[in-house]
Amino acid sequence: MSMTPGDVRSDQAERGRLTIAAAVVLAVLAWLCAALPAGAQAQAQAEPPILAQSVAEGRLPPMRERLPSEPLVTDLAAMDREPGVYGGTLRILEAQARDTRRMVVFGYARLAGTVPDGSIQPDIARAIDVEEGRRFTIHLRAGHRWSDGEPFTAEDFRYYWEDVVNDPKLGKNGLPRELLVDGKGPTVTFLDPLTIRYEWGKPNPLFLPAMAGSLPLEIFRPAHYLKRFHAKYADPAELERLVAEAGQRNWVALHFKLDQSYKNTNPELPSLQPWVLATEPPADRYVFRRNPYFHRVDAAGRQLPYIDEVAMTIAGAGLIPAKVAGGEADLQANFLNFGNYAFIKRAAERQDYEVRRWRSGRGSRVALYPNLTVADPAWRAILRDVRFRRALSLAINREDINQVVYYGLARPSNDTVLAGTRLFEPDLATRWAGHDPAAADALLDAMGLGTRNGAGIRLRPDGEPVTIVLETAGEEAEQSDVLQLVTEDLARVGIGLIVKPVERDTLERRLAAGSTVMAVAPGLENGAPVPSDAPDELAPTTSAQFQWPDWGLNFESAGRLGSAPDLPFAAELVRLATAWRATIDPDGQAEIWRRMLEINADEMVRIGLVADVDQVVVVSNALRNVPETALFNFNPGAFFGMHRPDTFFFAPADQVAARAPEARP
């Protein structure tokens, strides 16, 4: 070990000279726009042309020094993809300036990340050893560096653990939920500069999925950067100056503001993502430049990502389909829905892109959420009666919705796991989900809702009409059409439905206060789970769940707030979700999943309407390595992230054409 550094250095100097020569050749080729794939492959070890100049001038070390000694090698052939060429700007569209966070999702560099088969594999970490589901030893890659070139080591983990989350001021809110097992945190040891160990007394199956999340739990921080803003390390006078300069209340606020890797609004914050924010917000066009120290390479040893830049243009959500049809995006899925398909498809040939349909990973495209913890006692009694929920489900003609709104291409289904996934059983999707208004009428009559008013609406025992105010944040464009059909269906069994659009924040506040009777939103977030994914969505576990916010709050706060579930099935769900956390063998986990899915289907806690509404994905014809079809989901999946955008590249012959519209400001 001791002899290597000098050798490596001299070797690298040699290589550096070679690389400069190669870079010059490649730059000339690129200049002539005549770089053939064969020519590019001959230069396999060459620098990305955009970095060649900096390397040649010595402002940037050569690739070999920028990469960890053991980079993550991506076997493109095994993924059925081809080796790419460097260069190009990937244009994407987003609706809000806050969507800079999307690049942390698309980039999807995590300590460990979910891969398309559903398992979690090491990514930033070289390896993670798991013993008994409770002792996690994280091995880092030697020579791994932050995007500013500083080493990424156990010190960054120590800083997070000691100086952020356990700092009396910064860590006021306590440890993140995923780091607690039965309310107790882990023992963290830093074995050597590349090895960190997290250890609990009992298994913590939430730990790896949390780190692999699209919105990840990051247990490390760029210590070298953040120490300047930490009272423990910084010079007090200097820190005071920085705080005043930033207009913050104190150093805690400043540290918090700068340390938001997911929000991705600080161009100076070192990152491990493939593309790093290069535009200071606010702006209406953000550029993300390649991270010259990114830790992944292709089989030929060339550093990823292939694409140099991502340019994110901010446009109104309603304008995005029009902009896509105007050829202003190379890769776009967000803000495109099924209703836009025909329009986008029409422009496909003219704008030289392809419209693909990826399978959505959500359990349901549209689902109704009866609020079982609503404050109004009369409504609470009705909604908690399973006959009412089943009657609603039976009254809705799902096939009609499918035909009218989704061209008959979706699948009428309850809100459960997707067909064809491991935990799926046909009965889960169809139970209480057929169209049977007579049965619905019978159930409602049996509940004592038999009397109707002049308009044909049933009356509650207290004489008020059974008219549900359905609140919606209205984020899916076709939702109002679906709800119109639902309104017609429910009117036939004597239930009134009034759709009330509200702001998302308002909806969350009203749910927390128990004012909302019923809400509408997409169904299960993880529609294609494997047993090792947490089944939390199926039980009252967070206050963000529309069907039982108060019970969720109770679980979330470990019983301090909210109220404990007082329906037997809900208490059973909580018990099962808790039992899953203590279970590490996959069969036991799968068994718990099945029981929970069964209870969910039978109790009809979410009334799913249609599933398998494909995601429309627009892919420029010049862009390669984008899967023909795949699963599109936020968590797990990170939208494109799981499908490795760092391996996407622009085909050289088309590169000029693809970049031409980029000339506009």
Partner 1 sequence: MSAPLEHWVSTAPFDPERTTSLHSKLSAELLAASQARLFWWRLKRHRMAVLSLVVLGLAYLVAAFAEFVAPYGLSTRDTQHIFMPPQRLHLVHDGAFVGPFVYPMEGTLDLDTLERQYAEVRTEPQPIRFLCRGEPYRFWGMVEADLHLVCPQPGGTLFLLGTDRLGRDMLSRLIYGARISLTIGLVGVGLSLVLALVFGGLAGYLGGRTDYWVQRVTEVLRSLPQLPLWLALAAVLPATLDPLFVYFGITLILALLDWPSLARAVRSKLFSLREEDFTAAAEMMGARPSRIITRHLLPNFASHIIASVTLSIPAMILAETALSFLGLGLRPPITSWGVLLTEAQNIEAVALYPWLLLPMVPVVVSVLAFSFLGDGLRDAADPFAATAG
Among candidate residues 563, 566, 574, 567, the one with its CA nearest the CA of residue 596: 574
Helix (H/G/I), strand (E/B), else coil: 98? helix
What six digits make up the tokens of 169? Answer: 């001021």
Beta carbon nearer to partner 1, 288 or 406: 406
Residues 179, 200: Cα–Cα separation, whole Å = 9
Question: Does the footprint of partner 1 cover residue 485 (CB under 8 A)?
Answer: yes
For residues 537-566, which are near partner 1 according to CB under 8 A? Answer: none
- Taking the complex as a whole, the smallest distance from the CB of residue 348 to partner 1 amounts, in Å, to 9
| Per-residue x/- track, 45-64, partner 1 (CB under 8 A) | --------------------
Question: Does the footprint of partner 1 cover residue 514 (CB under 8 A)?
Answer: no
| # chain residues binding partner 1, by CB under 8 A | 30
Candidate segments 125-133, 403-411, 530-538, 632-640, binder of partner 1 by CB under 8 A: 403-411
Beta carbon nearer to partner 1, 174 or 318: 318
Beta carbon nearer to partner 1, 343 or 569: 343
Residue 298 CB contacts under 8 Å (≥ 6 apart), including other chains: 73, 74, 76, 83, 84, 304, 647
Beta carbon nearer to partner 1, 318 or 559: 318
Residues 392, 413: Cα–Cα separation, whole Å = 14
For residues 278-317, which are near partner 1 according to CB under 8 A? Answer: none
Helix (H/G/I), strand (E/B), else coil: 113? strand
- Taking the complex as a whole, the smallest distance from the CB of residue 203 to partner 1 amounts, in Å, to 47
Torsion of CA 73, 77, 81, 83, to 10 degrees: 60
Question: Which ranges of 333-436 would DSSP assign to H, the alpha helix?
Answer: 341-346, 348-351, 377-383, 386-395, 398-406, 426-430
Residues 394, 430: Cα–Cα separation, whole Å = 10
**Of 321, 363, 370, 412, the one binding partner 1 by CB under 8 A:** 321
- Taking the complex as a whole, the smallest distance from the CB of residue 31 to partner 1 amounts, in Å, to 40
**Strand (E) or helix (H) holding 14:** helix 4-31
Beta carbon nearer to partner 1, 307 or 325: 325
Residue 663 CB contacts under 8 Å (≥ 6 apart), including other chains: none
| Contact yes or no for 311/292 (Cβ under 8 A) | no
- Taking the complex as a whole, the smallest distance from the CB of residue 347 to partner 1 amounts, in Å, to 9
Beta carbon nearer to partner 1, 338 or 639: 338
For residues 61-120, which are near partner 1 according to CB under 8 A? Answer: none
Among candidate residues 86, 61, 223, 234, the one with its CA nearest the CA of residue 149: 61
Residues 322, 341: Cα–Cα separation, whole Å = 11
Residue 489 CB contacts under 8 Å (≥ 6 apart), including other chains: 395, 396, 397, 400, 437
Residue 487 sits at the vertex; the CA angle it makes with 483 and 492, to the nearest 5 degrees, is: 150
| Contact yes or no for 362/528 (Cβ under 8 A) | no
| Percent composition of the chain: helix, strand, coil (DSSP 3-state, to 5) | 40, 15, 45
Candidate segments 100-108, 282-290, 304-312, 320-328, binder of partner 1 by CB under 8 A: 320-328
Question: Does the footprint of partner 1 cover residue 351 (CB under 8 A)?
Answer: no
Beta carbon nearer to partner 1, 130 or 485: 485
**Of 242, 469, 512, 571, the one binding partner 1 by CB under 8 A:** 469
- Taking the complex as a whole, the smallest distance from the CB of residue 492 to partner 1 amounts, in Å, to 12
Question: Does the footprint of partner 1 cover residue 457 (CB under 8 A)?
Answer: no
- Taking the complex as a whole, the smallest distance from the CB of residue 454 to partner 1 amounts, in Å, to 11
Question: Does the footprint of partner 1 cover residue 487 (CB under 8 A)?
Answer: yes
- Taking the complex as a whole, the smallest distance from the CB of residue 369 to partner 1 amounts, in Å, to 17
Question: Does the footprint of partner 1 cover residue 635 (CB under 8 A)?
Answer: no
Beta carbon nearer to partner 1, 318 or 661: 318
Residues 659, 662: Cα–Cα separation, whole Å = 5
Beta carbon nearer to partner 1, 9 or 500: 500
Beta carbon nearer to partner 1, 518 or 524: 518
For residues 408-437, which are near partner 1 according to CB under 8 A? Answer: 408
Residues 188, 250: Cα–Cα separation, whole Å = 29
| Contact yes or no for 62/15 (Cβ under 8 A) | yes
Residues 399, 609: Cα–Cα separation, whole Å = 9
Beta carbon nearer to partner 1, 148 or 399: 399
Helix (H/G/I), strand (E/B), else coil: 269? coil
- Give bridge partners of residue 318 from the DSSP assignment: none
Question: Does the footprint of partner 1 cover residue 488 (CB under 8 A)?
Answer: yes
**Of 287, 297, 322, 567, the one binding partner 1 by CB under 8 A:** 322
Question: Does the footprint of partner 1 cover residue 191 (CB under 8 A)?
Answer: no
467-472 and 496-501 beta bridge pairing: parallel
Residue 140 sits at the vertex; the CA angle it makes with 137 and 142, to the nearest 5 degrees, is: 145
Q: Find tokens 């990840």 and name the residue.
A: 216
Candidate segments 114-122, 318-326, 588-596, 646-654, binder of partner 1 by CB under 8 A: 318-326
Candidate segments 244-252, 336-344, 542-550, 617-625, binder of partner 1 by CB under 8 A: 336-344
- Taking the complex as a whole, the smallest distance from the CB of residue 633 to partner 1 amounts, in Å, to 22
Candidate segments 205-213, 495-503, 594-602, 650-658, binder of partner 1 by CB under 8 A: 495-503
| Contact yes or no for 309/51 (Cβ under 8 A) | no
Candidate segments 86-94, 120-128, 273-281, 400-408, binder of partner 1 by CB under 8 A: 400-408
What six digits make up the tokens of 235? Answer: 């010079």
- Taking the complex as a whole, the smallest distance from the CB of residue 392 to partner 1 amounts, in Å, to 18
- CB-facing half-sphere around the CA of 641: CA atoms within 13 A: 29
**Of 342, 375, 564, 657, the one binding partner 1 by CB under 8 A:** 342
140 secondary structure, DSSP code: P
Question: Does the footprint of partner 1 cover residue 629 (CB under 8 A)?
Answer: no
Question: Does the footprint of partner 1 cover residue 343 (CB under 8 A)?
Answer: yes
What six digits make up the tokens of 65? Answer: 């020094």
> What would the 3-class secondary structure string for 455-503 be?
CCCEECCCCCECEEEEEECCCCCCHHHHHHHHHHHHHHCCCEEEEEECC
Beta carbon nearer to partner 1, 407 or 569: 407
Beta carbon nearer to partner 1, 487 or 578: 487
- Taking the complex as a whole, the smallest distance from the CB of residue 402 to partner 1 amounts, in Å, to 11
Beta carbon nearer to partner 1, 510 or 643: 510
Beta carbon nearer to partner 1, 349 or 566: 349
| Contact yes or no for 643/626 (Cβ under 8 A) | yes
What six digits make up the tokens of 247? Answer: 């207009």
Query: Which residues contact partner 1 (rule: CB under 8 A)?
Result: 318, 321-322, 325, 338-343, 345-346, 400, 403-405, 407-408, 467, 469, 477, 480-481, 484-485, 487-488, 498, 500-501
